[in-house]
Amino acid sequence: MADLSCNLGGIRSPNPFWLASGPPSNSGEQVARAFDQGWGGAVWKTVGEPIINTTSRYSSIDWNGQRMMGLNNIELISDRPIEENLREIREVKRRYPDQAVVVSLMVDSTRKAWHDIVKRTEDTGCDGLELNFGCPHGMSERGMGAAVGQVPEYTCQITAWVKEVARTPVIVKLTPNTSDVRYIARAAQKGGADAISLINTLNSITGIDLDTFVPRPNVGGMSTHGGYCGPAVKPIALNMVSSAALDPEFHIPISGIGGIATWRDAVEFILLGAGTVQVCTAVMHYGFRIIRDMLEGLEFYLEEKGFQSLNELRGRSLPHLTDWGNLDLNYRIVAKIDPETCIGCQLCYVACWDGAHQCIHLREDRRVPLIDEVECVGCNLCALVCPVEDCITMAQVPGPAGKMSWNALRSGRS
C-alpha cells in the first residue's frame, strides 16, 4: 500500500484529505464523525467573537443536470461561544490523537486580540492554526478576513503577531480576490507562516429571482455578495496554487482548496505542489462518506503509477508549466474525426464555423464532416464540443523544423 501520510509545515496527518473550515467542521460531533469515516484532518470552522448569522445563507448555480456546480454563501464565522468551541476541540483532539486538528481563527486586527485567541486555542492541544485572511463578505466589512488578506502589509503584520506567541505551526489562508496571489503569499511567508492554504471563496452573486428582482439568497427582500465555491472554482484554484508553487521567492508548503470533490481533483492539486487538500462544498453536498472513494482512488492511482508515497507525486506537473511566451509556436496539431463513431450531429461544424476558424466542412454524400487539415489551427474546440468521447481527437502533424517561441522571436529582434 502506498504511504498517504503527510507533513504540512509540521502538521502531520495520516492522509492528505482535510475538512476545510466551514459548515462541515462547525462542531466536535461533526469532526468526530468525519474522522470515523477516514478523514485525515479538519480545519475547525473559524473561531472568533460569536456573530449572528442570517437565516437564508446559500444559493447555487446548477449546470447540465448537476446540482450545486457553484455554491454561494453569506454565512460568517462560528456563531457558537468561543469557550464551547475550544472545549470541543480539546475533546476531539483527545479522542483522535493521530488526525490533524487545525483551528481557523479570526479576530480584530490588534496584537492583543490575536495573542489572546492564539494562547487560548493552543491550550486545547490542537495541532496548528489557520489564520482566516480570506472571508470576502460580512467580516471583511468589519476590517477582518479579505480586508486583511488583500493587503500584503496587513497579512505580514498579523502573521508576525501570531508567530510571536504561537507554539504550533501557523497556516495563512489566502483570498483569491486579489490581482496577484503571489504578493500575499510572500507576505505571509515574510510574517513567519509555516504554510499557506488557498483558495478561499470568490466574491459572487449567483443569480436573481426574475419575479421578485431580489438576488439570491433572499434575506427579507434584500441580498448581498457572498463567497463562491464548489466545482466551478477549481480551475481558478489550480492556477493560484501553481502560481505560488512556481514563485521563486516563495518556499513554504501549500494546502490546496477549491472545488475538490474526487480523488482525481486531489491528485491535480498535489501535482501542482499542494501538500494537503481541503474539502468543504462536496461534503455539504454528499456527506463525509465521500472520503472512502477518495482514499481508495488515491491509493490505487499511486500504486498504478509505481509511487510509494505522496512525496513522489507532489509537484510533478510544475515543470510542464511555463510563460505563454515560451510555448513552441512550431508545434502543430489537427483534428481527426473517427467515421465509425461519428453520429453526424454536425455540432463540430457549427462550432467551428460560428465560434472558431471555419476549417470543418459538410459533404452532401456523407454524414461525417470533412476537416481541412491545411486550414485547421488545432484549437481543440471541435473535440471539446463533440458529444461522443474520442470521436474527435487531436493529432500531431509535422510543422516547421525546430522550436520557435514568441520570447525567442522578441529576443532576436532586440
Between strands 17-19 and 276-279, the pairing is: parallel
- Is residue 129 within 8 Å of residue 118, measured between CB atoms? yes
Q: What is the rounded average pLDDT of the residues 7-30?
A: 98
Q: What does residue 140 show for φ and ψ, rounded to 5 degrees?
A: -65, -30
Q: What is the pLDDT of residues 261-282, one digit of tens each?
A: 999 999 999 999 999 999 999 9
How much of the chain exceeds pLDDT 90, in percent?
90
Residue type, 240: M
Domains and CATH numbers, the chain: 6-320 (3.20.20.70), 324-413 (3.30.70.20)
Q: What is the rounded average pLDDT of the residues 106-129?
A: 97
- Say which DSSP state 211 is in: T
Collapsing DSSP states into helix, strand and coil, what is residue 265? helix
Between strands 226-229 and 66-73, the pairing is: antiparallel
Residue written as grid cell 516563495 = 250
Q: What is the pLDDT of residues 34-51, one digit of tens each?
A: 999 999 999 999 999 888
CA distance 190 to 179: 19
CA distance 239 to 180: 11
| Mean pLDDT, the chain, integer | 95
> If residue 263 lies in a helix (H) or strand (E), which one and from where to where?
helix 263-271
Q: Given pLDDT bands bounded at 50, 70 and 90, which one contains residue 413?
A: low
**Exposure of 126 by Cβ count < 10 A (0-12 exposed, 13-18 middle, 19+ buried)?**
buried
Question: DSSP alpha helices (H): ranges in 21-149?
Answer: 28-37, 82-95, 111-122, 146-149
CA distance 35 to 174: 25
CB hemisphere CA count around 304 (13 angstroms)? 6
Which triple of cell numbers denotes residue 66? Answer: 448537476
Q: Given pLDDT bands bounded at 50, 70 and 90, which one contains residue 77?
A: very high
Collapsing DSSP states into helix, strand and coil, what is residue 208? strand
How much of the chain exceeds pLDDT 70, in percent?
99
Which triple of cell numbers denotes residue 239? Answer: 492556477
Residue 414 predicted with pLDDT over 50: no
Dihedral, CA of residue 180, residue 181, residue 183 and residue 189, to nearest 10:
-170
Indicate which residues carry an active-site annotation. 135
